[in-house]
């Protein structure tokens, strides 16, 4: 499993969340670090991208020696990095899950306009793109992604209301929708990274896209319920095994 993403100094998101998730799901995690960040659960205070050459070299090292069964893409940091990642991945025939990291759960902007513009190539080659609600809007909305033939998972955690609804849209197929009660906890930093890397790991194991998303959702919900101090009224874990 190759994670191409930024490093989170707080350990809750980014490369660190990907490594933990992939390992817990039985995969072997490799990394290409795109960006160094100074961040914690409250926000991001400094961002320093790697060079595109360094990112390419990390990908080449993993592919050339260890091999890759699936790829998760997270924070990229610059248009040049986005371009070199796309160029390298176009050579591979493996599942790719692209988490278009633009706006963190904390509200911090993590990609500039030029970097977002470079996402088009990555979304076209990805097996699945996984935007949260603000990111889905920034990418043009549901209609625009459908018109461009992009497979996407709209994550509903940022919406208001007692339930969370996630929508999987794949060209040529009916949408798959999951709805489950919201888990009330402040420990939600890195949920998007965890979800996307879990989906990629399940795809590497041979699961269908819908099954990979379903299993990844259960993994994230179990992680939220295991966090200290989640809402006492949420009930046992089995209550949330909603597929």
Find the CATH number of the domain harbouring 148: 3.40.1190.20
Q: What is the pLDDT of residue 75?
A: 93
3-state secondary structure of 240: helix
Show the tokens assigned to 202: 């399940």
Q: What residues contact 214, with CB distance under 8 A and at least 6 apart?
A: 178, 243
Q: Determine contact, residues 27/1, Cβ cutoff 8 Å.
A: yes
pLDDT at 227: 79
End-to-end CA distance of the chain: 25
Enclosing domain of residue 182: 2-241
**What pLDDT, on the 0 to 100 scale, is given for residue 241?**
32
- Alpha-carbon distance of 66 to 120, in angstroms, equals 28
CA-wise closest residue to 196 among 225, 170, 217, 222:
217
pTM of structure: 0.90
Per-residue model confidence (pLDDT) at position 108: 56
Strand order in the sheet with 71-73: 43-49, 30-40, 2-8, 71-73, 96-98, 128-129, 152-154, 163-169, 176-181
Secondary structure element (H or E) that encloses residue 152, with its range: strand 152-154
Spell out, as residue ranges, where the chain has pLDDT lower than 50. Answer: 231-243
The pLDDT of residue 109 is: 61
Residue 117: per-residue pLDDT? 80
Distance of CA 182 to the CA centre of its chain: 19
**Overall residue count recorded for the chain in this entry:** 243
**CA 74, 76, 80 angle in degrees (round to 5)?**
150
Q: What is the per-residue pLDDT for 233?
A: 41
Number of domains in the chain: 1
């Amino acid at each position: 499993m190759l994670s191409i993403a930024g490093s989170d100094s707080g350990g809750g998101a980014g490369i660190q969340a990907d490594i933990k998730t992939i390992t817990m799901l039985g995969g072997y995690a490799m990394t290409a670090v795109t960006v160094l960040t100074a961040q914690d659960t409250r926000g991001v205070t400094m961002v320093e991208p790697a060079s595109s050459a360094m990112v390419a070299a990390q990908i080449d090292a993993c592919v050339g020696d260890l091999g890759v069964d699936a790829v998760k893409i997270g924070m990229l940091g610059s248009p040049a990095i986005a371009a070199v990642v796309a160029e390298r991945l176009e050579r591979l025939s493996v599942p790719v899950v692209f988490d278009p990291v633009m706006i963190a759960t904390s509200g911090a902007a993590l990609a500039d306009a030029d970097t977002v513009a470079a996402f088009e190539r990555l979304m076209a080659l990805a097996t699945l793109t996984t935007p949260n609600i603000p990111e889905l809007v920034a990418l043009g909305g549901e209609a625009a992604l459908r018109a461009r033939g992009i497979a996407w998972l709209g994550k509903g955690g940022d919406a208001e209301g007692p339930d969370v609804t996630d929508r999987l849209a794949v060209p040529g197929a009916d949408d798959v929708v999951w709805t489950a009660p919201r888990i009330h906890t402040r420990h939600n930093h890195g949920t998007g990274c965890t979800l996307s890397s879990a989906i990629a790991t399940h795809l590497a194991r041979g699961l269908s896209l819908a099954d990979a998303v379903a299993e990844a959702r259960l993994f994230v919900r179990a992680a939220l319920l295991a966090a200290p101090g989640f809402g006492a009224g949420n009930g046992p874990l089995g209550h949330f095994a909603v597929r």
